[in-house]
Amino acid sequence: MEFQDRDITSIEDFTRQEIAYILNKAKTMEPLAAKGSDILKGKILANIFFEPSTRTRLSFESAMLKLGGNNIGFADVESASVKKGENLADTIRTVENYADIIALRHPLEGAAKLAAEFAKIPVINAGSGAEEHPTQALVDLYTIQKERQKIDGLKVAVVGDLRYGRTVHSLAYALSLYDVELTLVSPETLRMRREVLRAIQSKISVTETQNLEKTIPQADVLYVTRIQKERFPDQAEYAKVKGTYRIDLKSLANAKKDLVILHPLPRVDEISAEVDSTPQARYFQQVWNGIVVRMALLGLLLGAVK
Ligand code: CP
């Protein structure tokens, strides 16, 4: 299986077999994440972030450092020449001179694909507008597999903003490669994007509902997402759906004991803090998994991991 020099612009870039390979490699990174390694010594990752990020940027940086590599980049467009009007293609054709691989977060859908067309080095989509966040989906799959020792056969409920949430688009595409039952829980105005729904419905069982209360007792995995306030063209529309779903101890009263609650984070108010100490809450373990998955991806794309 060949990963060296590939771009990751969409989770659809991967087959199920390739995803399984990446998840296995991520597992082998667990001891390296603890003790460090120098397999990427001399390699440089450019983290080019045109939108805010805590987990994705810092976990890419941490992954690179744990493998002996180095990081450059910017996390604030105010400090980059885009502020002077430089376009994305020119930024990419500049940065590729300084680095071996690029992680790009951008507010525009299609930005990662455009960057990959211009770059001579691998480009990883670290979030493209409301479109996709493929490495997050790999982290999500890794977490599900680690927590439940399987993905096939599970009932997965995805809750929240399925329209503007990029993580759920990548996750839905990824889950459609497995034998899962997927329940999509959202307000009417934030239903899953139609093109994603069309693509996955032909492969797996998909149910759309607004009823979280009835969904929770059936679920093996509850994937909760934030309503993406910043992506609403009309803040009056956001006000109508704000706070629609809130997971608290009461709402989990009939949940399965081995339910796995995930969230790509950041959260606002959709999971109450009282849930954090339940055995079902696995979203901070999910954060750790972001490091090992990104270590595996960097190693594979840079040819240091086979
Ligand atoms: N999950 C995720 O993408 O988080 P950040 O926006 O903090 O990177």
Digit-coded pLDDT (tens) for 122-173:
999 999 999 999 999 999 999 999 999 999 999 999 999 999 999 999 999 9
Please count the structural domains in the chain. Answer: 2
Same domain, 144 and 127: no
Instruction: Say how many Å lie between the CA of residue 168 and the centre of ligand 1.
Output: 13
Whether residue 127 is contained in a domain is answered as yes
Of 132, 135, 136, 286, the residue with max ligand 1 atoms within 8 A of its CB, to mutate for a pocket test, comes to 136
- Tell me the per-residue pLDDT of 81-115, one tens digit each, with 9 for 90 and over: 888 889 999 999 999 999 999 999 999 999 999 99
Same domain, 54 and 188: no
pLDDT of residue 145: 98
Whether residue 306 is contained in a domain is answered as no
What is the residue range of 117's domain? 11-131+288-301
Average pLDDT on 33-51 reads: 97
Instruction: Say how many Å lie between the CA of residue 170 and the centre of ligand 1.
Output: 14
pTM tops 0.85: yes
Where in the sequence numbering do the catalytic residues fall?
55-56, 84, 105, 133
CATH of residue 76? 3.40.50.1370
pLDDT of residue 123: 98
CA 168, CA 226: separation in Å to the nearest integer?
11
Amino acid, single-letter form, for residue 146? K
Closest among 146, 154, 147 to 175, alpha carbons compared? 154
- Tell me the per-residue pLDDT of 247-256, one tens digit each, with 9 for 90 and over: 999 999 999 9
CA 125, CA 105: separation in Å to the nearest integer?
6
In the chain, the DSSP E strands lie at 44-49, 70-74, 101-106, 123-128, 155-159, 181-185, 205-209, 221-224, 260-262
pLDDT band at 301 (very low <50, low <70, confident <90, very high): very high
Mean pLDDT (the chain, rounded):
97
